[in-house]
Amino acid sequence: MYDIKNKFPRKDLLVDDTLPAEKLAQARSSLTPGDLWLILSREGSDPAVSLLLGRQLVGELALWLTVGEAGALVSGIDAGHLEGLCGLSIQTYRFNLYADLQALLGRLAPQRILLDVSPADALCDGLTAGLRDRLEALAMDLRPAPLLASSENILRRLRSVKVAAELARIQAATAQTAQLYAALLPQLRQGMREREIQDLVNRLASQLGYQIDAGDFGGPLVLISRAGMSHRAPGETQLEAGDLLILDTSLVVHGFRSDLARTFYALPEGAEQPPAELQRMFSSIRRATEAARSALRPGVPGWVVDAAARQSLIADGWPEIRHSTGHQIGRRVHDGGTILGPPGRSPLVEGTVLAGEIYALEPTVLLSPGPSMIVEESVLVGEEQTRYLSPLQEELWPIPRVGGA
């Protein structure tokens, strides 16, 4: 399924609407006889609905899966959104979901009901307290009473391990992001403000026909190092000679996201390349990224991969990374599951890497307001080899002075 030699996605996988059927089958293959995975949602409260069905619904609903079947109890206003989905039995309720749900539970007589609750992973914790109360009241009437358990392990794997169509869309979004950066570089000039740079990126993406993930700040992160390194909106700081500029951009292709960051250097007058110390810093980041990629193999705990990058930077004389080395990408830029971070930061760093997962690797040097760099690359974990999804940034990208070459 994960052909590491094929770097270019098949175009038919970008528009094929069989993805929900693939995810439903993938989910059911993880269940055991006697299990009922039950997802209760209203007003889009549980992200697992869109993960499985490729769309979010408005009304109150129950999506359920067993080894043998999958179905949905939905309101009449939502039934039309599910027409044509293969592998899903659709039943509408007229006024009240819970009478039909009670009958369904009686017919299925599950030994275990798996619910979307998790103390650690927000994307596996979609069941609201109110809906859980309603379900527990129904379950009390079943004989024998089923065990209520967490779906976390199944849901985490389902979100993390990409089927072919998901991989194709992330590959396409990543390729577009690399092309966007290539189009942007010749247009960057010193004297531009952070807000102007973000506007330029958004405009170029629109011209190229790409969909940008606006995130919390209206577009990509645009950070001039001396103005502060954090998740913040772009400001009025002007790019000056000697500045380091970081752009962190995500594009969207049919609901799936890329995540690539690049660092630029504003050349002083007469300079043809960055100073040696900045080039050394950049080379250290590249080595740390490669150390993480080499360590990223199926079965390896997330904290082990983080340690490889972390120790690489420390050995080169740079301060310890302040954040995790990497995270998964998919329908979201931070897509849950195993995190590549240090022990103790989160239970998710104890998770093991799986073939078919896609990670953004971002070992960084943060000395803000001094020189700081972020270079973020995306990689696909294969059974035997982990590969980069886009051409790497091999050097600091120069930005000339106004009127410069």
pLDDT of residue 405: 43
Q: Are residues 77 and 155 in the same domain?
A: yes
Domain shared by 227 and 99, yes or no: no
CA-wise closest residue to 77 among 62, 96, 57: 57
Based on the fold, state whether residues 318 and 381 are members of the same structural domain: yes
Token readout for 273 is 């390349």
Half-sphere exposure of 274 (CA within 13 A, CB side): 22
CB 262 within 8 A of CB 250: no
Q: Degrees (nearest 5) of the Cα angle 115, 99, 87? A: 55
* 176 and 138 belong to one structural domain: no
Please report the pLDDT score of residue 81 as a whole number.
Answer: 83
Q: What is the pLDDT of residues 63-72, one digit of tens each?
A: 999 999 999 9
Indicate if 165 and 155 belong to the same structural domain. Answer: no
Q: What is the pLDDT of residue 2?
A: 32
Among residues 130, 159, 188, the one where a domain terminates is 159
**Residue 405 resides in a domain:** no
Measure the CA–CA gap between 387 and 294, rounded to whole angstroms: 9
313 shares a domain with 297: yes
Neighbours of 254 (CB within 10 A): 19
Q: Are 225 and 218 in contact (CB under 8 A)?
A: no
- Residue 68 in any domain: the answer is yes
Query: Is residue 168 domain-shared with residue 299, that is, in the same domain?
Result: yes
User: Looking at residues 105-109, what average pLDDT do you find?
Assistant: 93
Is it the case that residue 14 has pLDDT exceeding 80? no
In this structure, the number of other CB atoms found within 10 A of the CB of residue 69 comes to 13
User: What confidence tens digit (pLDDT) does each residue in 166-192 have?
Assistant: 999 999 999 999 999 999 999 999 999
Determine the average pLDDT of the residues in 237-245.
96
3-class DSSP assignment, residue 94: coil
Q: Where are the beta strands (DSSP E) in 66-184?
A: 70-75, 89-93, 112-115, 147-150
pLDDT at residue 187, rounded to an integer:
96
Residues 360, 262 contacting (CB under 8 angstroms):
no
Beta carbons of 290 and 256 less than 8 angstroms apart: no
Containing structural domain, residue 71: 12-159
Same-domain status, 282 and 261: yes
Q: What is the pLDDT of residue 3?
A: 38
Both 137 and 88 in one domain: the answer is yes
> Mean of the per-residue pLDDT values for the chain?
92
- Nearest of 260, 248, 285, 301 to residue 395 by alpha carbon: 285
Mean per-residue pLDDT for 272-296?
A: 97
When comparing pLDDT for 7 and 286, which is higher?
A: 286
Total number of domains constituting the chain? 2
d(CA 245, CA 265): 6
pLDDT of residue 202: 98
pLDDT score recorded for residue 18: 81
Q: CA 78 → CA 4, 48, 49, 69, distances in Å? A: 39, 16, 13, 20
Q: What is the pLDDT of residue 1?
A: 29
pLDDT tens digits along 35-56: 999 999 999 999 999 999 988 8
Q: Examine the domain organization and report whether 126 and 190 are in the same domain.
A: no
CA 268 to chain centroid: 37
Q: How far is CA 319 from CA 225, 250, 281, 284, in A?
A: 16, 27, 11, 12
* Closest alpha carbon to 162 in 389, 324, 366: 389
Q: Is the pLDDT of residue 7 over 70?
A: no
Strand partners, 221: 248
Residue 337 lies in a domain: yes
Query: pLDDT digit string (tens) for 362-375?
Result: 999 998 778 999 99
Tens digits of residue pLDDT in 190-219: 999 999 999 999 999 999 999 999 999 999
> Does 287 map to a domain?
yes
> What is the mean predicted confidence (pLDDT) over 248-262?
97
Task: Check which CATH number belongs to the domain holding 138 and give it.
Answer: 3.40.350.10
Distance between CA atoms of 332 and 338, rounded to whole angstroms?
14
Lowest mean pLDDT among 161-165, 278-282, 364-368: 364-368
| Residue 5 domain-assigned (yes or no) | no
Tokens found for residue 282 = 């950049």
Residues 371 and 269 in one domain: yes
Q: Do the Cβ atoms of 241 and 268 come closer than 8 Å?
A: yes
Backbone angles phi, psi at 223, to 5 degrees: -130, 115
> Which run of H or E residues covers position 63?
strand 61-65
How far is 18 from 77, CA to CA, in rounded Å? 23
Question: In the predicted model, is pLDDT for residue 10 greater than 60?
Answer: no
Establish if 187 belongs to a structural domain. yes
Q: Residue 223: what residue type?
A: L
DSSP 275-321: -HHHHHHHHHHHHHHHHHHHH--TT-BHHHHHHHHHHHHHHTTPPPP
177 and 154 inside one domain: no
Given a cut of 80, whether residue 337 has pLDDT beyond it is yes
Centre a 10 Å sphere on the Cβ of residue 365 and count the other Cβ atoms it contains: 23
pLDDT reported for residue 386? 96
Show which of 159, 192, 217 is a domain's final residue.
Answer: 159
Beta bridge partners of 318: none
The pLDDT confidence band at residue 403, using thresholds 50, 70 and 90, is low
User: At 15, is the pLDDT very low, low, confident or very high (cuts 50, 70, 90)?
Assistant: low
Instruction: Could you list the beta-strand ranges (E) of 208-278.
Output: 211-212, 221-224, 244-249, 251-253, 256-257, 260-266
Length of the chain: 405
Average of per-residue pLDDT across 252-267: 97
Q: Find the helix or strand (DSSP H, E) in which 360 lies.
A: strand 358-361
The structure tokens 């073939």 sit at 355
Instruction: Tell me which of 143, 159, 175 is where a domain ends.
Output: 159
